[in-house]
């Protein structure tokens, strides 16, 4: 998960840079954080950058000398094997993000507007995926989705609705289910904040002017919640493209995405320089997508105070 | 144009009756104010008319067509909100176009109607601004324009001037009033500001605790209040408790009170011996240093007292007069009246300027 935290931080830093004025002693307070990030994020990353340019070796971690070969091998592979996996990763990220947005928006809207006394219970439900460890949650899904003895398949077969089990796991479907489940809170919470800051009178104004509930959503609520949409989608996207545990547990090796591939290269094949290069290709591709997305969406958001 | 009728409207929130048995007919072109303290049900009534609340009981008729089952977007209303509720992500022009687009008005006509309404609210050159770039008064007028440009059957205003500063608020009263008269649209105006209601309304509906206490023209509400609440809420009042002695000439009644026999106008019949309260407004009382010569037999009333407080308000001078038996009268006299604290004075007022509240 450490890998996943880094990408939004880099994206955020490039998007906002308030001008600093003078020296403020309270800045000492940021040193522990800066120190931690430097020690455990920046240095390892720099080490990985250097590693990705090293010569591969069969007997050691790397051989002496530097090369661009690792990147060229990944990018210029004649079967486009690695680029295809990169594209699959991005598509999985986009799909998970889109599903989270579609599923999360109504929940966020309801939570933002409800006056129910069970509001705190609803909050707890939204956060519940985060309250259980990732491995435990995935085993929960395995029990439900299992291809041979999973709850859904055995039930449907016992009822005679299907003859042979459905392929619910070890494919993109199973991975998406797990990812959406776990990342949904990361979509709902920013949306919730954004929707809560929209004056309910605006919706009433729209209705009084003749807009149906649906058109009110489309023309007033959604545009005004775009800052939350932007934050939520970026969060879920970067979390998805860098997720490892869920795709491995629910997808096995039949759903190959970049993080799986990187770990395979590093741990199984012990190809550290090549694995590092792949990791960087993923990071840069992810950062690029986020950057372009930010530029496009920020233009739409500019009208909102 | 549209006539609005509200029949037996009630709205309960749990055990609380926010509006209880509201009955009213609002004529074409008429501007009605719902006036009352916060929590009196005036806003709930407005929201029922708009369709944002569904009544627990009763009917709401726009020209004999019951709209209770209709959602707000199908009632053809125009509404102005206390905080204006302009769409912050749209320019003034887009805000004004919104309702017309929802009605499927053609692009060309939208342009014309926006130009016309911007002219009407005297903000013709602000079409491309965003709401946050406008002053409070400008936002207020745009909100009014947005509600009116769709040519609604009924215009609903929910404390539209409450967020403006005092000076601008007074100007806007006249602006709203003249605009409403010019367009001739049936209007319901919610306010807790009695002066605003007085200036703006054809008729005022005074509400307390979800019930209508009185409906009438501003001068009627002011000079002939039906209850202590109404009298207290609108202007300052002096109450003198008494018992009916009998009817005099010209629809007057004689009351026996703690400060002697007083005479008072009243239009209803009152049984002899009935406990009532006489109400007289502070500005109806005239102070004089000497006892009026013909206090008995004429239309006048006279109460002796002593000035206990005096305060200068510029256009008037206010007094508190301690009278017999602990009665304290509030009096507003012209600013040049030269009475000081401790002076013995006579408070005189005409029977026609007093009124009776049957408790």
pLDDT single digits (tens) B125-179: 899 999 999 999 999 999 999 999 999 999 999 999 988 888 888 888 999 999 8
User: Residue B65 has what pLDDT?
Assistant: 92
Q: Are residues B54 and B146 in the same domain?
A: yes
Q: Are residues B225 and B258 in the same domain?
A: no
Q: Does residue A274 lie in a domain region?
A: yes
Q: Are residues B156 and B70 in the same domain?
A: yes
User: Residue A14 has what pLDDT?
Assistant: 42
User: Residue A304 has what pLDDT?
Assistant: 59
Question: Which residues span the domain enclosing B212?
Answer: 4-231
Q: Does residue A4 lie in a domain region?
A: no
Looking at residue B28, what DSSP letter applies? T
What CATH number does residue B60 fall under?
A: 3.40.50.300
Q: Measuring CA to CA, how many Å separate B245 from each of B254, B261, B297?
A: 5, 9, 16
Whether pLDDT at B28 is above 90: no
pLDDT above 70 covers a percentage of chain B that reads 97
**A209 → closest Cβ in B71, B130, B150:** B150
Whether pLDDT at B300 is above 70: yes
| Residue-by-residue pLDDT tens, chain A, 305 positions | 344 433 343 334 444 445 556 778 888 899 999 999 989 989 988 999 999 999 988 888 888 889 998 999 889 888 899 999 999 999 999 999 999 999 999 999 999 998 888 888 999 999 988 888 889 999 999 999 988 888 999 999 999 888 888 888 889 999 999 999 999 999 999 999 999 999 999 999 999 999 999 999 999 999 999 999 999 999 999 999 999 999 999 988 888 999 999 999 988 888 899 999 999 999 999 999 999 999 988 887 775 54
Provide residues of B within 8 Å CB-CB of chain A.
50-52, 71-74, 76-79, 81-83, 85-90, 98-99, 102-103, 130, 132, 146-147, 150, 156
The answer to whether the CB atoms of A208 and B50 lie below 8 A apart is yes
Shortest Cα distance from A16 to chain B (angstroms)? 22
Number of folded domains that form chain B: 2
Question: Which residues span the domain enclosing A210?
Answer: 66-301
Shortest Cα distance from A119 to chain B (angstroms)? 19
Q: What's the token pair of residue A190?
A: 């920013």
The answer to whether the CB atoms of B89 and A201 lie below 8 A apart is no
Contact in structure between B41 and B11 (CB atoms under 8 Å): yes
Q: Are residues B94 and B186 in the same domain?
A: yes
What CATH number does residue A265 fall under?
A: 1.10.3720.10
Confidence of residue B351 (pLDDT cuts 50, 70, 90): confident
Q: Are residues B206 and B247 in the same domain?
A: no
Confidence of residue B298 (pLDDT cuts 50, 70, 90): low
Q: Does residue A15 lie in a domain region?
A: no
The answer to whether the CB atoms of A207 and B71 lie below 8 A apart is yes
How big is the A-B interface in CB pairs under 8 Å? 72
Report the chain B residue with the minimal C-alpha distance to residue A207. Answer: B73
Identify all chain A residues contacting B88, using CB atoms and an 8 Å cutoff: 202, 224, 303-305
Q: Does residue A44 lie in a domain region?
A: no
A55 — contact with chain B (CB < 8 Å)? no
Shortest Cα distance from B161 to chain A (angstroms)? 16
The answer to whether the CB atoms of A202 and B85 lie below 8 A apart is yes
- Mean predicted confidence (pLDDT) in B265-282: 88
The answer to whether the CB atoms of A210 and B71 lie below 8 A apart is no
Domain boundary among B181, B198, B231: B231
Per-residue model confidence as pLDDT tens digits over B214-267 = 999 999 999 999 999 999 999 899 999 999 988 876 778 889 888 888 888 888
Q: Are residues B304 and B332 in the same domain?
A: yes
User: Residue B299 has what pLDDT?
Assistant: 59
The answer to whether the CB atoms of A303 and B90 lie below 8 A apart is yes
Shortest Cα distance from A117 to chain B (angstroms)? 14
Q: Are residues B144 and B292 in the same domain?
A: no
Domain boundary among B231, B260, B285: B231
Evaluate whether ipTM surpasses 0.90.
no
A151 — contact with chain B (CB < 8 Å)? no
Identify all chain B residues contacting A197, using CB atoms and an 8 Å cutoff: none
Number of folded domains that form chain A: 1
Whether pLDDT at B200 is above 80: yes
Q: Does residue A291 lie in a domain region?
A: yes
């Amino acid at each position: 998960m450490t890998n996943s935290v880094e990408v939004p931080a880099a994206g955020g830093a490039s998007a906002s840079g308030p001008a600093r004025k003078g020296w403020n002693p309270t800045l000492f307070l940021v040193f522990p954080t800066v120190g931690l990030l430097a020690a455990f994020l920046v240095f390892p990353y720099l080490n990985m950058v250097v590693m990705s340019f090293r010569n591969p070796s069969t007997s050691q971690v790397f051989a002496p000398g530097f090369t661009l070969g690792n990147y060229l091998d990944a990018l210029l592979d004649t079967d486009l094997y690695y680029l295809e996996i990169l594209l699959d990763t991005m598509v999985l990220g986009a799909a998970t993000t889109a599903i989270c947005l579609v599923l999360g928006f109504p929940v966020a809207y309801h939570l933002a507007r409800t006056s129910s006394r069970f509001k705190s219970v609803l909050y707890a439900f939204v956060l519940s995926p985060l309250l259980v460890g990732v491995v435990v949650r995935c085993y929960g899904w395995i029990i439900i989705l299992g291809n041979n003895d999973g709850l859904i398949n055995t039930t449907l077969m016992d009822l005679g609705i299907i003859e042979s089990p459905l392929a619910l796991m070890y494919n993109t479907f199973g991975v998406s289910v797990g990812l959406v489940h776990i990342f949904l809170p990361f979509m709902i919470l920013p949306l919730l904040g954004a929707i809560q800051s929209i004056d309910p009178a605006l919706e009433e104004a729209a209705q009084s002017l003749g807009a149906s509930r649906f058109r009110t959503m489309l023309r007033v609520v959604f545009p005004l919640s775009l800052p939350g949409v932007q934050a939520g989608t970026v969060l879920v996207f970067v979390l998805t493209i860098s997720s490892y545990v869920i795709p491995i547990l629910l997808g096995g090796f039949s759903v190959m995405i970049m993080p799986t591939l990187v770990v395979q290269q590093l741990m199984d094949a012990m190809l550290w320089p090549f694995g590092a290069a792949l990791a960087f290709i993923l990071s840069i591709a992810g950062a690029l997508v986020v950057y372009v997305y930010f530029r496009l969406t920020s233009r739409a958001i500019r009208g909102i105070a | 144009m549209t006539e609005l009728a509200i029949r037996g409207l009630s709205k309960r929130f749990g055990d609380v009756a926010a509006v209880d048995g509201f009955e009213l007919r609002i004529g074409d072109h008429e501007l009605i104010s719902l006036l009352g303290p916060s929590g009196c049900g005036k806003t709930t009534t407005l929201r029922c008319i708009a369709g944002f609340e569904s009544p627990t009981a009763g009917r709401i008729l726009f020209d004999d067509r019951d709209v209770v089952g209709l959602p707000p977007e199908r009632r053809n209303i125009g509404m102005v909100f206390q905080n204006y509720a302009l769409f912050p992500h749209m320019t003034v022009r887009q805000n004004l176009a919104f309702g017309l687009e929802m009605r499927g008005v053609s692009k060309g006509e939208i342009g014309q109607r926006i130009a016309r309404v911007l002219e009407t609210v005297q903000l013709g050159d602000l079409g491309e601004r965003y709401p946050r770039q406008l002053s409070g008064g400008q936002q207020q007028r745009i909100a009014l324009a947005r509600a009116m440009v769709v040519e609604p059957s009924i215009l609903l205003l929910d404390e539209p001037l409450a967020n403006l500063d005092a000076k601008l608020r007074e100007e806007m009263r006249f602006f709203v009033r003249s605009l409403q008269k010019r367009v001739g649209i049936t209007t319901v105006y919610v306010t807790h500001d009695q002066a605003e209601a007085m200036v703006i309304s054809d008729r005022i509906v005074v509400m307390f605790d979800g019930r209508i206490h009185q409906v009438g023209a501003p001068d009627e509400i002011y000079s002939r209040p039906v209850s202590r609440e109404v009298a207290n809420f609108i202007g300052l009042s002096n109450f003198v408790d008494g018992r009916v002695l009998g009817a005099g000439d010209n629809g007057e009644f004689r009351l026996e009170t703690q400060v002697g026999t007083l005479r008072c106008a009243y239009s209803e019949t009152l049984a002899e011996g009935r406990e009532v309260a006489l109400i007289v407004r502070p500005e109806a009382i005239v102070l004089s240093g000497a006892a009026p010569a013909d206090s008995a037999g004429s239309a006048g009333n006279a109460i002796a007292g002593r000035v206990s407080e005096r305060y200068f308000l510029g256009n008037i001078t206010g007094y508190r007069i301690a009278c017999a038996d602990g009665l304290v009268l509030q009096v507003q006299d012209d600013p040049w009246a030269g009475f000081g604290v401790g002076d013995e004075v006579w408070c005189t007022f005409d029977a026609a300027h007093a009124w009776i509240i049957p408790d």
